[in-house]
Amino acid sequence: MRDDCRVTDFEFGASVHRLQVQSAGRTETVEGRWLIDASGRGGLIRHRLGLTRPVGHLANACWFRFPHRLRIDDWSADPRWTARVPSGERWLSTNHLMGAGYWVWLIPLGSGSTSVGIVVDATMHPYGRLNRFDRALDWLREFEPQCADVVKAHEADLEDFLALRGFAYGCSRVFSPDRWTLVGEAGLFTDPFYSPGSDFIAIGNDYTVDLIRRDCSGEDVAARTEQYNTTYLRLYDAFLRLYEGQYPIMGNAQVMTAKVGWDNACYWAMSAPLYFQRKYRDLAYMQQLDGLLTRFFFLHTRMQARLRQWNEADTPTGYGHAHVNYMDVPYLRTLQRGLADPLTDEQLTARLTTNLADLERFAQVLLQMAAGATLDRDAAGFEHVGALQLPKARVGLTRA
């Protein structure tokens, strides 16, 4: 491990790769059989080889920190608000403020600081409105005025400010038979919502370590490397569907509530069990699941399109105050709590097959909700999906 150094150049070799490393005014050559690029957005290998792939998710972000807590619990004295978290510790969670084409995060950090971030659909909220702190504050005044007041009150304590244009990007290859891999943002990135970057770091590191171990033990890992690359990029494409064209939904409380329920169900039903059971590295098992996963991918893609259509046809301001706890839906709770169950391959396949069938039924229930139809409460396991329905706002009329 070398600290305070910089890679100035590198070259690939048939048996070893070489790095030029600069530190304390000295440059030296370092050799290794494998080259692992964890250089973040700098993406040394990705840029050198022209591997960056543009994606349809056009989004910008900015974020900044204050050296103390911003307690969202203090933002309202409305008893309907305070009663939901009577301990007054809502601020301990990551909190999101949402509207059409954007979300704002409030994250308490271990250092004692609070991170505030603004993430937007670039087609709805131009980067030029967010790329400086004063502009971001003006944007908050327009879209989240209560948050703007709090930020303004702490402006003198601003610790830092960063902005990023077009943060999402893909990559045509992240694992190579030529003994190099790209991990984390050195390879690709989707979106900070749901924090899937952590999943890709975990899976990418798993794959990388496994390939190095096998190669060092004398195994020919060329075919395995190609399969890992294919699986990883397919997973990226599936996650990207969560965000492409979906940011307008964030302004609709009802559709976004349903979307978060659907997105979590997909995660807990399909991708997370494979990681918990460490099956992403099992080539034979993953190939056996190819048909099932393809069926899931098409369902997932169709459902994201239906959510967009629901949002376009709905009136986003037509809902009243509500609190939704996804764990009040037994179907979702069961999926989440079953992730750590020890399973044989046969049991895992049976569970994934059942999970996909249940996702298809869950999709139908959500589509009934979108159509304004009576929910099929007789469907076993879905009796409580109505908990995701928000009350319609009541409008009072007075005589002139």
Same-domain check for residues 25 and 43 = no
* 237 in the same domain as 260: no
| Inter-residue contact 292 to 237 (CB < 8 Å) | no
Asked if 262 and 379 sit in the same domain, the reply is: yes
Assess if residue 302 is contained within a domain: yes
Taking every pair of C-alpha atoms in the chain, what is the biggest distance, in angstroms?
86
Residue 80 lies in a domain: no
Clarify whether residues 44 and 65 are in a common domain.
Answer: no
Q: Rounded to 5 degrees, what angle do the CA atoms 123, 161, 67 make?
A: 130
The domain that contains 126 carries what CATH number? Answer: 3.30.9.40
pTM for this entry: 0.94
pLDDT reported for residue 400: 37
Q: Three-state DSSP class for 160? A: strand
Considering the domain architecture, whether residues 222 and 368 belong to the same structural domain is answered as: no
Domain count, the chain: 4
Q: Which amino acid is at 239?
A: F
Q: Is the dihedral of CA 105, 316, 121, 203 positive or negative?
A: positive
Q: Across the chain, where does the E strand assignment appear?
A: 6-11, 17-23, 26-32, 35-37, 52-53, 59-66, 95-99, 102-108, 114-121, 160-164, 170-171, 175-176, 180-182
Q: Residue 289 domain-assigned?
A: yes
Report the length, in residues, of the chain.
400
Distance CA 312, CA 331 (A): 27
Selection from 130, 154, 126, 279 nearest residue 206 by Cα: 279
Residue 381 in any domain: the answer is yes
Domain of 3, in residue numbers = 1-32
278 lies in a domain? yes
Question: Encoding tokens for residue 257?
Answer: 């509530």
Exposed, middle or buried: residue 135 (CB in 10 Å: 0-12, 13-18, 19+)? middle
Q: What's the first-to-final CA gap in the chain, in angstroms?
A: 76
Closest to 97 in 3D by CA, of 85, 105, 88: 105
Looking at 244, 262, 285, which one is the last position of a domain?
244
Last residue of a domain, one of 189, 215, 244: 244
- Angle (nearest 5°) at CA 227 between 47 and 194: 65
Residues 289, 377 within the same domain: yes
User: 3-class SS at 223?
Assistant: helix
Question: Looking at the structure, do residues 225 and 141 belong to the same domain, yes or no?
Answer: no
Whether residue 211 lies inside any domain: the answer is: yes
Local structure of residue 123 (DSSP, 8 states): T
Separation of alpha carbons 111 and 49, rounded Å: 38
Same domain membership, residue 120 and residue 238: no
Instruction: For residue 153, give every residue at least 6 positions away whose Cβ sits within 8 Å of its Cβ, in sequence order, or none.
Output: none
- Does residue 271 sit in the same domain as residue 372? yes
Any domain includes 99: yes
Mean pLDDT in consecutive groups of 10 residues from the start of the chain, 400 residues: 89 96 92 97 97 98 98 94 93 97 98 98 98 99 98 98 99 99 98 97 98 98 98 97 98 96 98 97 97 98 98 84 89 96 98 97 93 70 82 54
229 is written with which tokens? 């690359």
Do residues 33 and 13 touch, judged by C-beta distance below 8 A?
no
Could you tell me if 262 and 367 lie in one domain? Answer: yes
Residues 272, 350 within the same domain: yes
Residue 342 lies in a domain: yes
Q: Which of 199, 218, 244 is the last residue of a domain?
A: 244
Do residue 231 and residue 326 come from a single domain? no
| Buried/exposed 252-266: b ≥16 CB within 10 Å, e otherwise | bbbbbbbbbbbbbbb
Of 188, 101, 194, 114, nearest to 147 (Cα)?
114
